[in-house]
Amino acid sequence: MAWIILGIAVCTEIIWALSLKWAGDRGTWLAGSVPIVLSFVNMGLLALAMRGIPAGTAYAVWTGLGAVGVIIGGTIFFGEKISPLQAAFMALIVIGVVGTKFSAQG
C-alpha cells in the first residue's frame, strides 16, 4: 500500500510543480493558492508513504519520477522542448528509480 501512496504522491508532485508555472502565468490570487494547497497534500502523501518505505528510497523515487514527470508535463502543457541528450538522462533516472524500487527492503 505504501508504494501506491508513493505513486499518488509522485503524481501530486508533478501536478504541484506544473501548477507553479501555471499560477505564475495566470498571476491571480486563486491560481497562486493551488500550488500551496497541493504542497500540503503532496508532503502529507510522502510522509504517509514513508511509514512503509525507507525515507531515502521514498524520497529518491519521489524526486526522480517527479523530475521526469515535470519535464514531460512541461512539453505537453507548455510547449517546452526536450533534447535527445536530456531524454537519455531522463531514461537513466527512470532506470535508477526502477532499480531502487526492486532492491528496496520496504
* Count of structural domains within the chain: 1
CA distances from 88 to 77, 91, 94 (A): 21, 5, 10
Helices of type H across the chain: 2-26, 29-49, 55-78, 84-103
**Consecutive 10-residue runs of the chain (106 residues): their mean pLDDT?**
96 96 89 94 97 93 96 96 96 92 74
pLDDT at 103: 85
Angle between helices 2-26 and 29-49 (to 10 degrees): 160
CA distance 59 to 67: 12
Please give the model's pTM, rounded to 2 decimal places.
0.88
Give me the domain span that covers residue 46.
2-103
